[in-house]
Amino acid sequence: MKQRFSYIAFWVIVLAIATLSIVGILASHHSTPPLQGTVEAPEIRISGKLAGRVAEICVREGDNISEGDTLIVIHSPETEALHSQAVALEGAAIEQSNKVDEGARSEVIASAEQLWQGAKAQRTLAENTFHRVVRLWQDSIVSLQRKEEAEALYLSASAAERAAFEQYLLARKGAQKQDKESAHYMAAAAASSVSGVEAVLRDAHLRSPTNGIVAEIYPAEGELVGIGTPLLSIVDIAKPYAVFNVREDMMPRFKLGQRIRCDVPAIATPNIEWEICYIAPLGSYATWRSSHLAESYDMRTFEVHARPTKHVEGLYPGMSVLLTIENIEQ
């Protein structure tokens, strides 16, 4: 009797172990572990157009900043000197343009007029003298040579009077149209040079282009930095998104615009709703081995992004996101 009971107990234990093993195998075969992703956010690297020395760092890593806040102050004596030079050249060009527009000074015009009047009087005298000499020559009182000398003096005085008159008109009219336009363009070019240097100098106080958190500061105070050198990075935590690496045999479950629900272990809010906003057009290689070695093959992995459909308090980059594959509607 005792042997019969031991025999039955042995087979009951064997049957229980076999049943549990089969259930475990079936459960492991049909259940898929959650797909784990990571919360990320846009990162902006701040760099400037001004080369110089870091005079002051106004923020610290981890600080919450708003758009327009001053981040770093850069001191560049060379650029400030260029600005002073450009301002001086602009002033000279503007004054030269104003001078051309105003024309000749009144004293210059009056002087030209007096010279013209003097030349005019000389021409009148030479003309009268010439006519008198002509009459005397006709009466054979003076020689032909004297008549020709008087005529030459008259012609010379007439030419001098016309030249003096043209100089007077030139003084009254001032510079030519082309000279005025050239002076205006030179003044505009000088003003543009000042604007260019001022645009660079505005980067002496680097300001934040968005709201966010200071993630990392690269230089220290007193260091020299060049044009375009990254100085710090800002993370825009107001625009978080989750990144999943999805094997291509699971890709039929994911569609652009699809709503999914995920858990974030780091926060207390369960079952957060996300919307798939990006699927990588090119997959990367990832080796995956099946249970049967003969069926092993390489699969591609695609990157899938999803953003929360509404604001989630306490969601920070770096947190894990868990997605249960069985809960995704195909």
CATH code at position 276? 2.40.30
In a domain, 321, yes or no: yes
In a domain, 303, yes or no: yes
309 exposure class (CB count in 10 Å sphere: 0-12, 13-18, 19+) = exposed
Q: Which one-letter DSSP state was computed for residue 241?
A: E
In a domain, 108, yes or no: no
In a domain, 6, yes or no: no
In a domain, 268, yes or no: yes
Contacts within 8 Å (CB) and 24+ apart, 73-76: 73/204, 73/205, 73/206, 74/48, 74/50, 74/203, 74/204, 74/205, 74/206, 74/225, 75/204, 76/50, 76/51, 76/52, 76/201, 76/204
Domain count, the chain: 1
In a domain, 285, yes or no: yes
pLDDT (tens, 9 = 90+) of the chain, 330 residues, equals: 555 556 566 565 656 676 666 655 554 444 567 889 999 999 999 988 888 899 999 999 989 999 999 999 998 888 888 888 888 888 888 877 777 666 556 666 677 777 877 888 888 888 888 888 888 888 777 788 887 888 888 888 888 888 887 777 766 666 566 766 777 878 888 888 888 888 888 888 899 988 999 999 999 898 988 888 899 999 998 899 999 998 888 888 899 999 999 999 999 888 899 999 999 887 776 655 544 455 556 778 899 999 999 989 889 899 999 998 776 765
Query: 295: domain range?
Result: 240-327
- Please list the residues that pair with 302 across neighbouring strands: 246
Residue type, 160: A
In a domain, 228, yes or no: no
In a domain, 172, yes or no: no
Model-level pTM?
Answer: 0.58
